[in-house]
């Protein structure tokens, strides 16, 4: 398990490893949804070895805010809370 997320690759690894762990369906959903947003944001910023910069984190946060209408209020809360947890590992 990754204790600290330093690069985009670390973040991808963390999110992908959720599927190998005994986590609940909400966490799997949030991880998968967030993985998609991160991938979109990363295409604007560089390669997978790039450091987790404030600009990249802000880009993901903005995309998540913009995607709010795609999710039910409950799912939005789940994804937002999970994103907060992930940011705590950076």
Rounded Cα–Cα distance for residues 65 and 46 (Å): 22
Per-residue model confidence as pLDDT tens digits over 25-42: 999 999 999 999 999 888
pTM exceeds cut of 0.85: yes
Tokens of 16: 């992908």
Q: For the chain, what are the domain ranges?
A: 8-88
Per-residue model confidence as pLDDT tens digits over 17-29: 999 998 999 999 9
């Amino acid at each position: 398990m990754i204790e600290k997320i330093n690069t985009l690759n670390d973040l991808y690894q963390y999110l992908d490893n959720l599927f190998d762990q005994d986590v609940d369906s909400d966490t799997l959903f949030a991880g998968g949804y967030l993985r998609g947003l991160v991938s979109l944001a990363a295409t604007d910023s560089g390669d997978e070895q790039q450091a987790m910069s404030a600009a990249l984190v802000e880009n993901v946060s903005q995309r998540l805010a913009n995607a709010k209408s795609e999710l039910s209020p409950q799912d939005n809360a789940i994804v937002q809370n999970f994103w907060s947890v992930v940011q705590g590992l950076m």
